[in-house]
Amino acid sequence: MPMTDAERLATHRACTRFLTGHGPRNARRELTALAAEAAEDDRGDWYGEGETLAAFERDVATLLGKPAAVFMPSGTMAQQIALRVWSDRRGGAPVAFHPTSHLELHEQRGYAFLHALRARLVGDRQRLIRRSDLDALAEPIAALLLELPQREIGGQLPTWDELVQEAEWARAHGVALHLDGARLWETQPWFARPLAEIAAPFDSVYVSFYKILGGVAGAALAGPADFIAEARVWQRRHGGNLVTLYPFVLSARAGLRDRLGRIEAYVARAGAVARCLTAIPGVRVVPDPPQVNMMHVVLPGDSEVLLDESARIAQDERVSLFTWLRASEVPGFSTFELTVGDGAMALDDALLARLFRRVVGAGDA
Amino acid sequence: MPMTDAERLATHRACTRFLTGHGPRNARRELTALAAEAAEDDRGDWYGEGETLAAFERDVATLLGKPAAVFMPSGTMAQQIALRVWSDRRGGAPVAFHPTSHLELHEQRGYAFLHALRARLVGDRQRLIRRSDLDALAEPIAALLLELPQREIGGQLPTWDELVQEAEWARAHGVALHLDGARLWETQPWFARPLAEIAAPFDSVYVSFYKILGGVAGAALAGPADFIAEARVWQRRHGGNLVTLYPFVLSARAGLRDRLGRIEAYVARAGAVARCLTAIPGVRVVPDPPQVNMMHVVLPGDSEVLLDESARIAQDERVSLFTWLRASEVPGFSTFELTVGDGAMALDDALLARLFRRVVGAGDA
């Protein structure tokens, strides 16, 4: 008998191990750790000012090799602001990004509704933007946003040479180059360069602190000092200059300190997980091999049947593999996004192979 | 010898008692209290969804007598969104508010730069909006924002009858009435009605959780269910639909539970503080008597001299009276905003009289 959504959810909630990310948040544990992170006399920042916040913003700017940085509540805010500032400086010309950009898919088109920005979508939604896509642009644009890695296609990355060629196009055309670095931390093993060097071709960079770094929430925007000063004005307009952001700031600082060094292991583990999964008949990953610590896992079978089996495994084994699936455009396949963090680090290949063979009904190996 | 700004700041930082508000925040203490506030298995809200958040939003809606409420990171965001929704529903007509509204003074005119809203300022900046100001409006407006209490003129309030007459004007003209209730909690003793009754004439209400309630940050917008659903879309566009807001939510819940019952005592204490201060030659308060737990304190003398004396008192007595002054339009007078909270509750009249006599050089009583 198929399970209801609530029944499935309950089985996953009762799990003790989680394949994706770092497993669920626990508010009490997180707040207790943050209290220990705060200096004894820390009064928190106040409308964007304060020693802890200012020092953290300087550290982030340095890490990214930019003159200045500003902490913001969200990447949605940071990126709309970045594109607005670049567009305003170029007479309100359109901005360009990939069809699967967060701005296009997940922000209720705030860029248009709030900022009256016009977006030129560039490239094919199933692959990265290429230099040839840029060469084909026939109208002027103010800014080009590149997302490293491109999340919605499984975390794909260009080669360093491809990236340099795209940056050359932007410079040659007077186009501001903005980096959507929501998952920038994860690209370091692929490019085998320091983060500041990866960010160097870009005029502005957004990074996130709550995804792989495990912070509560929060983002930063980095770039030239005058650009950041202008972004702070827009942050106030957005309602993002909060009376204080200190819980986010403390958690971001802790995440950067404690988790940045684990990225290489996460990426290596993602490769091993991909090999383990693709050895199961009918299971594929995109991209194969993974380029960062994430991938799309493509499963053969009906999504309702697969979700039921995942819930039953959660019930039997207290391991949560996946809680949602996206129907594929190829009938008979479903996909979920797998991010390797502390969760997958604690699950060995033999267990994963056994559980996923059960998911897809492949029988024992 | 005059002190530098840094020297003044240092003396105030070392104080143990504070006249205004609840005194400075301590991040570690606040986070420790929040950890205890979280249920053992609370995973926090996730992009606006979660049991703790949903229950709190329902409680706030009930308290304000509205069908629905949404938690937001800031009032700046909440109020721009409210006015945008009401304006969109009336063909983009202008919105109206007091010349000292937060939207006009403290938000870098986000209403215009982000929402392309046009604002019609109503009334004189030194007094409340009156029904006669509304009757004099010669062009259609979409929404009228009333701020209760009017913060920038010392927290003034209309009588209940005046408020009802303004609400009648709005209804008669098909104008949406929005309540800027940043300090709504403090109006209850003045109106001597339940909060839901005070909010009843308004179509939408914004309240804040971090001012007198002492939360970390955060606000709520309450109103009809369809209005709140629309506001949630705009919250995402603003970048205010964060991955989680749970530290803000927990602190807001605690503040509402623990501090709402103290408001009456704060307001009573504000009256006593005003009587104590106005007994000193040359010292005035606006309004006199105070109508809520706040007032402007007008001091005779040069502002640099007054700030130095406040800093010396901080040094000698470890009591922080005021750290900034606004020059008055009347030469020879300076003003600061005094909010009565836990700080002033712990300072007796004799001490205040002695310290403020010293501030203004009045000698001993």
Q: Is pLDDT at A365 greater than 70 in this prediction?
A: no
At A93-123, the pLDDT tens digits run 999 999 999 999 999 999 999 999 999 999 9
Q: How far apart are CA A343 and CA A19, in angstroms?
A: 5
pLDDT band at B331 (very low <50, low <70, confident <90, very high): confident
Q: Cβ separation of A28 and B39 shorter than 8 Å? A: yes
Number of H helices, E strands in chain B: 16, 13
Dig out the tokens for A99 from the structure: 């069809």
Q: What is the mean pLDDT of residues A325-336?
A: 90
- Ranges A58-62, B46-50, B328-332: which has the least confidence: B328-332
Contacts of A24 in chain B (CB under 8 A): 43
- Would you state the pLDDT for residue B364? 67
Terminal alpha carbon distance of chain B: 26
Give the pLDDT band of residue A327 (cuts 50, 70, 90). Answer: confident
The answer, for B188 touching chain A at a CB cutoff of 8 Å, is no
Average pLDDT score, chain A: 97
Q: What is the pLDDT of residue A163?
A: 98
Give the pLDDT of residue A329: 79
- Compute the nearest-CA separation of B107 from chain A (Å): 5
Contact between residue B144 and residue B170 where contact means Cβ atoms under 8 Å apart = yes
| pLDDT tens string A259-293 | 999 999 999 999 999 999 999 999 999 999 999 99
Q: Could you tell me which residues come within 8 angstroms of residue A6 by beta carbon, excluding any fewer than 6 positions away?
A: none
- Split at pLDDT 50, 70, 90, the class of B348 is very high
Q: Residue A340 and residue B106: Cα distance in Å, rounded?
A: 43
Q: Is B108 on the interface with A (CB under 8 A)?
A: yes
Residue B10 has pLDDT above 70, yes or no: yes
Q: Which amino acid is at B101?
A: S
For position A345, what pLDDT does the model report?
Answer: 97
Instruction: Outline where A177-333 has alpha helix (H).
Output: 188-191, 195-199, 225-237, 246-259, 263-278, 303-317
pLDDT digits (tens, 9 = 90+) for B65-104: 999 999 999 999 999 999 999 999 999 999 999 999 999 9
Helix axis angle, B246-259 to B51-64, nearest 10°: 40
pLDDT bracket for residue B270 (50, 70, 90) = very high
B289 upstream amide cis, omega within 30 of 0: yes
Average pLDDT over residues B337-357: 98
pLDDT at B363 over 80: no
**8 Å CB contact of A77 and B240:** yes
Please name the member of B108, B236, B242 whose beta carbon is closest to the beta carbon of A236: B108
Name the residue with higher pLDDT: A165 or B1.
Answer: A165
For the stretch B231-241, pLDDT in tens is 999 999 999 99
Judged by CB atoms closer than 8 Å, whether chains meet at B43 and A32 is answered as no
